[in-house]
Amino acid sequence: MNIEQIAIADIDADERLREIDLEAADFIAASMAEYGLRQPIEVRKSGKRYKLIAGGHRLAAAKKLEWADIPAVVLKANELEAQLLEIDENLFRRELSPLDRSTFLAKRKEVYEALHPETKHGGDRKTDQVLNLENLIASFAESTAERLGISKQTIARSVARYKNIMPDVRQKIVGTWLADSGSQLDELAKQEPDMQRQIAGFVIQWPGVRKVSEIVRQLAGRPKPTPPGVIEKVAGIWRKASPAERKQIIEFFAPHLPGYQPEERAAA
């Protein structure tokens, strides 16, 4: 791996998939000021300039420190390959919210299938050559599951979550509690677009209510459901009980019922 000193002024870092967290860049700058840059950024050549692939926060920190140049690994990658590298760098970050992870997985699917159209479901299957090539190249789900160590079901759910939540809604809920809850994002994704937008506005205005179903209830003006009474609770337990468990229930409650007689006395 060859590391070069690249002039920061020659590096383009616009059109990133993830915004720079300025507070995080400040912390990184403090560390770099004391210890230097321990991990080079990654760039690719673009004419006479360079395009950033990985290391957006490190580059931002170097700019804060007013460095003239920065250590970088120059990778040979086309635009799609560079996007895939950027996405994967972010996907390996543990601090990603479920919303961020859904976004990056959906983008990874787009880029991966653009690089390998023969793996896309419903793609060109006319020739034996394409069919043979499809067997050699893993599908998006298989490739991503192996790379990230997560199940294909998790990937499919995340991508569906991204596709079913309106783009303006995704943008609006970034940084809210809703972006950090996968299960509640799934509930949001089930709603119609107009309701999604109302929910997003509610989340921002009333952050204390943290269940999408409750937000929908309030927006619809429906009365709050009353908690089940004792009879409903017992009936629920009875419905779920096995025959042996029902027998135990009867034996437990029998002495408390009017007219109860122990078997010995009844026999006498």
- Is residue 88's pLDDT more than 90? no
Of 68-72, 165-169, 190-194, 245-249, least confident by mean pLDDT is 245-249
C-alpha count within 13 angstroms, C-beta hemisphere, residue 188: 32
The token duo for 261 is: 């007689």
Residues 162 and 103 sit within 8 Å (Cβ to Cβ): yes
Q: Is 5 exposed, middle or buried (0-12, 13-18, 19+ CB in 10 A)?
A: exposed
* Cα dihedral sign, 250-254-255-256: positive
Question: Once rounded to an integer, what is the mean pLDDT over residues 125-146?
Answer: 57
Query: Which residue type does 73 have?
Result: V
Encode 181-210: b = buried (16+ Cβ within 10 Å), e = exposed: bbebbbbbbebeeebbebbbebbeeeeeee
Band the pLDDT of 95: cuts 50, 70, 90: low
Query: Which residue type does 229 have?
Result: G
Give me the pLDDT at residue 14, please.
82
Report helix angle 98-115 to 182-189, nearest 10.
70
**Which residue stretches of the chain are H helix?**
22-35, 56-64, 79-91, 98-115, 128-136, 140-148, 152-164, 167-173, 182-189, 193-205, 212-220, 230-240, 243-253, 263-267
- Domain range list for the chain: 1-76, 79-164, 166-222, 228-253
Question: Once rounded to an integer, what is the mean pLDDT over residues 201-213?
Answer: 94
Q: pLDDT, tens digit, for every residue of 16-63?
A: 767 787 877 888 898 899 889 989 999 988 889 999 988 888 999 999
Give me the pLDDT at residue 132, please.
44
As a whole number of Å, the CA-based R_g of the chain is 29
Give me the pLDDT at residue 136, please.
43
Residues 21 and 88 sit within 8 Å (Cβ to Cβ): no
Q: In what order do the strands lie in the sheet with 69-75?
A: 3-7, 69-75, 41-46, 49-54, 11-12
Q: pLDDT, tens digit, for every residue of 158-179?
A: 999 999 999 999 999 988 999 9
Q: pLDDT, tens digit, for every residue of 217-248?
A: 999 999 887 777 788 888 888 899 999 998 88
The token duo for 214 is: 């409750």
Give me the pLDDT at residue 198, please.
97
Give me the pLDDT at residue 187, please.
96
What is d(CA 75, CA 86) in angstroms, rounded to the nearest whole number? 12
For the 1-76 domain, the top CATH level (class) is: alpha beta
Encode 78-117: b = buried (16+ Cβ within 10 Å), e = exposed: eeeebbbbbbbbbbeeeeebbbbbbbbbbbbbebbbeebe
Number of Cβ within 10 Å of residue 159's Cβ equals: 21
